[in-house]
Structure 1
Amino acid sequence: MPCAALAASTLLWMAAGPAPARAEPPTPPPAVALEPLFAEIVSRAGALKTEAEAMRQTQALATEAFKTGVADLAALDMKGQQIVRDRGNDGDLACILRGIAEDLPVKLAALQLASDAGARDNALRELIYLLNDNVEVLVAPPGPASGIPAGDAT
């Protein structure tokens, strides 16, 4: 019984004291989508996705403006990849942007080479998926650092 009484009094004593200060969780840095280059990527990818969805619905062919838009977006993604890689501060984002930059021309070529409606629909679905990923990866909160030193090839 004396041990139980001691434990109870200790518990009451600790509860009566001031609450320990709570450490506020660190505020994550803002998503890179707020920066002008990355906001431009999000805007262009979203517009191209909308255009590709309309092409899928209407069976319209890719216009020269659409093809140029995809090529320009790939170049912006590569530029963004280099910026993020050189900073070394956002996990796998550099690798993802590079992958998107490399895949966009491939998906566009598949669309242009599609020989029938089924292949064309599949190529458009894959392009739409990639454009959507391009938006989502940039508006997501930053992830943990990948540990890749700045300037290393990704």
Structure 2
Amino acid sequence: MSCDAVAVSALLWFAAYSPGQAAGPAPAVQQQPAAPASVAGEPLFQDIVKRARQLKTEAESYRKTLAGADTAATAKALKGFDAFSGKIGELSSLDMKGHLTLKARGAVDDLKCILRGISQDLPEKLTAVGAAKTIKDQDLALRDMVYLLNDNIEVITAPPQPAA
């Protein structure tokens, strides 16, 4: 590049600068939404987590009683299943209460929707356990129940995330 070309470039560059001219608007930057406050310390949600943990332990215990049995055999009667069923119904109601509580607060995060889904899924999983005809079906239904109860615990105790 010749010296004349460099001089012209410098002249144009300096000419474009005006000391009295205010800087233009800052470039737009998309702000990330703030994560919602955690509800894990609130009594309702602590109760949900406590109950879900207890029921998960019971469901895992039921699965242990099935271990080693012939998978094609007729499903076993599960000791205390009626009480277990009642507790699942109570947990389902608490999950719906949690959903409604968050909805009333105007929450826009995923937790309120997940709690509603779990509330609806718990009775379905319970029905599948009760309707199982074989040990294999019973074990699979209990496994699904354990996963759902674990999800119930983790969605409340996990750090909150901004709405998707």
TM-score normalised over the length of structure 2? 0.69
- State whether structure 2 residue 128 is matched by structure 1 residue 121: no
Out of 100, 112, 128, the residue aligned to residue 110 of structure 1 is 128
CA drift of 1:89 comes to 2.9
Runs of 4+ in 1 over 4 A off after TM superposition: 27-30
Out of 28, 35, 38, the residue aligned to residue 31 of structure 1 is 38
CA drift of 1:90 comes to 5.1
Are the counterparts in 2 of residues 90 and 142 from structure 1 also a CA contact under 8 Å? no
Q: Percent identity, please.
A: 52
Instruction: Decide which structure has the larger Cα Rg and report it.
Output: 2
Unaligned runs of 5+ in 2: 1-33, 67-76
Range with bigger deviation, 58-67 or 93-102: 58-67
Distance 1:93 1:129 in 2: 17
- State whether structure 2 residue 147 is matched by structure 1 residue 140: no
In structure 2, relative to structure 1, the CA distance for the partners of 1:96 and 1:43 (3 Å cut) is same
Per the alignment, residue 40 of structure 1 pairs with 47
Are the counterparts in 1 of residues 55 and 84 from structure 2 also a CA contact under 8 Å? yes
Deviations 1:57-78 (A, max 9, x none): 0136152110000000000000
CA drift of 1:85 comes to 1.4
CA drift of 1:88 comes to 2.3
Q: What is the aligned length?
A: 121
TM-score normalised over the length of structure 1? 0.73
